[in-house]
Amino acid sequence: MKKLIMITSVALTLTLVAGCSNKSVVRYGDATAVETTDISFGSTDLQKVASQMTDSLLLSPVVGTLTANSRPIIFVESIKNKTSEHIDTESITDSIATKLLRSGKFRFVDMDRVAAARKQLEFQQNSGMVDTNKAMQLGKQVGAQYMLYGNLASIVKSNKDQSDVYYKFTLRLMDLESGLVEWADETEIRKTKEKEFVSW
């Protein structure tokens, strides 16, 4: 009898453990849907700043003049993260550069890949493994005319009732030859989270 009770108890325990185990379900979501998991900088914020700044730049009368008869060459400096969060600012940079390139108004120099390009050109010229008639020549690359650069800053406030974060994203376009800033704009995001109180 004791043995039967013991077996029944073990079986019941295993059933309860199996029933309480977490089962995860993976689904595809809408990449453009508003993400409100918390008040930290998220995918919606990235899409918002990249879209607003790209539109502002492309619709600027100054940029309209610069791109009227040519496709200026730009290099994009990595966005400086001046917030207290770890934010992948390279993703913001990539989104802006991609949108500008798709517009057909600009061409880009990828400064992050210059070292790799130089290594490949030196290999073609000096290794003796590449047909010299088919090797790319050193000193033929085109320099950028403009630099696009910016900052992402934040102010965070919090008390016992709510948390508030304010983000400001600034972007500028500089003429590398003259040093003049031809265009600048900024966009802001404010996010507030009310703290929930559980009543007993």
Least confident of 62-76, 98-112, 118-132: 118-132
Question: Is residue 85's pLDDT more than 60?
Answer: yes
0.85 cut: is pTM over it? no
Give a three-class secondary structure readout of 101-157: HHCCCCEECCHHHHHHHHHHHHHHHHCCCCCCCCCCCCCCCCCCCEEEEEEEEEEEE
134 is a domain residue: no
User: What pLDDT, on the 0 to 100 scale, is given for residue 161?
Assistant: 81
At 17, is the pLDDT very low, low, confident or very high (cuts 50, 70, 90)? low
Q: Is residue 133 pLDDT above 60, yes or no?
A: yes
Q: Which two tokens stand for residue 187?
A: 């966009």
Asked whether residue 126 is domain-assigned, the answer is no
Q: Is the pLDDT of residue 27 over 80?
A: no
Q: Average model confidence (pLDDT) for the chain?
A: 82
Domain-embedded: residue 3: no
Residue 21, pLDDT > 80, answer no
Classify residue 181: in a domain, yes or no. yes
Helix axes 43-59, 89-102, angle to 10 degrees: 40
**Quick one: average pLDDT of 67-94?**
89
Cα(77)–Cα(150) distance, integer angstroms = 8
CATH code: domain of residue 89 = 3.40.50
> Can you give the pLDDT at residue 15?
58
What are the distances in angstroms from CA 146 to CA 89, 152, 180?
20, 20, 10
Mean pLDDT of 76-103: 89
pLDDT cut 90: percent of the chain above it: 32
pLDDT at 84 > cutoff 60: yes
Contacts of residue 181, Cβ cutoff 8 Å, sequence gap at least 6: 172, 173, 174, 175
Q: Which domain holds residue 94?
A: 40-109+144-194
- Do residues 183 and 60 touch, judged by C-beta distance below 8 A? yes
CA angle 152, 144, 99 (to 5 degrees): 50
What share of the chain in percent tops pLDDT 70?
80
| Better-predicted residue by pLDDT, 98 or 9 | 98
Q: How many domains does the chain have?
A: 1
CB 110 within 8 A of CB 120: no
Q: What confidence score (pLDDT) does residue 61 get?
A: 94
In a domain, 117, yes or no: no
pLDDT given for residue 55 in this prediction:
93
Q: Is residue 64 part of a domain?
A: yes
Residue 120 lies in a domain: no
In a domain, 76, yes or no: yes
| pLDDT tens sequence across 135-177 | 888 777 788 899 999 999 988 888 888 888 899 999 999 999 9
